[in-house]
């Protein structure tokens, strides 16, 4: 009698891409803006698919744009045999990630959450985060030390001087990036139980911290920066130009 061998657990990436990107100025949703002629979202999905650890990518599209995003991804070559799913997103990043998690296949046990707004993350960073979760860490965040000193202020209306209430010790601060990696059950629990008002969580690890689960930091990469403001587009184009000359990317 032949017995079915259970398939090996899989790693998935959820890519929230439903933001409007207003800080970048007027125009298409941020994830659909192009860098070197290719939409940012395609760069981000390629960055996930390039990792041999990742076998499925769930792209969370603007709520009314899932069909367009599907067509867009079908029209661009993606590395490897990675399965790509597209689902509509929500009003906040937290809601979009929750909808992405709900679409994951049952055999996925490790989840990376990666912002479409970080299109140039190197595969080494993706691999390092996935490997740290596989090695037993329930939540892993890539991060870099800060160049600037950070002040905590009492916020006031735009343009008004804001009183400083504290200066955290810079050596103990890290700027966190994505992909953030999680044991799937831990991230599912965080999204099912942690309720935050306003714009919701800006980062999945922060939700996991609220569960009292340990989150660890691994080295991030300067090319994993978030494209937020117009100057970031200039930097991203420069990184792509350098990659073209150095490794024929």
- Residues of the shown chain interacting with ligand C5P in the complex, contacts defined by CB under 6 A: 16-19, 30-31, 60, 89-93, 96, 115-117, 202, 226, 228
Name the nearest CA neighbour of 98 among 206, 214, 189: 189
Q: What angle do CA 16, 18, 19 make, to 5 degrees?
A: 105
DSSP 116: T
Residue 113 tokens read as 């959450």
* Residue corresponding to tokens 């603007």: 62
Cα atoms in the Cβ-side hemisphere of radius 13 Å centred on 198: 3
Question: Measuring CA to CA, how many Å separate 74 from each of 9, 61, 86, 88?
Answer: 26, 14, 11, 16
DSSP 4: P
List CB contacts of 231: < 8 A, sequence separation 6 or more: none
List CB contacts of 81: < 8 A, sequence separation 6 or more: none
* Residue corresponding to tokens 């002629």: 37
């Amino acid at each position: 009698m032949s017995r079915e061998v259970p398939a090996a657990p899989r790693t998935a990436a959820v890519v929230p891409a439903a933001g409007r990107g207003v800080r970048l100025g007027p125009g298409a949703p941020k994830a659909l803006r192009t860098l070197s002629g290719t939409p940012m979202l395609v760069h981000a999905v390629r960055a996930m698919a390039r990792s041999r650890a990742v076998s499925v990518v769930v792209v969370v599209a603007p709520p009314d744009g899932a069909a367009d995003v599907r067509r867009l991804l079908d029209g661009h070559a993606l590395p490897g045999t990675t399965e790509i799913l597209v689902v509509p997103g929500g009003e906040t990043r937290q809601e979009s990630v929750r909808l992405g998690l709900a679409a994951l296949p049952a055999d996925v046990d490790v989840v990376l959450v990666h912002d479409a707004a970080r299109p140039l993350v190197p595969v080494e960073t993706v691999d390092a985060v996935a490997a740290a979760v596989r090695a037993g860490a329930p939540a892993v965040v890539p991060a870099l030390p800060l160049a600037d000193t950070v002040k905590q202020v009492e916020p006031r209306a735009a343009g008004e001087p804001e009183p400083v209430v504290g200066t955290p010790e810079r050596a103990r601060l890290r700027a966190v990036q994505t992909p953030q990696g999680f044991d799937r059950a831990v991230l599912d629990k965080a999204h099912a139980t942690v309720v935050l008002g306003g714009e919701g969580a800006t980062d999945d690890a922060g939700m996991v911290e609220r569960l009292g689960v340990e989150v660890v930091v691994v080295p991030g990469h300067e090319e994993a920066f978030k494209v937020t403001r117009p100057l970031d587009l200039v930097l991203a184009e420069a990184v792509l130009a350098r990659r073209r000359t150095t490794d024929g990317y």
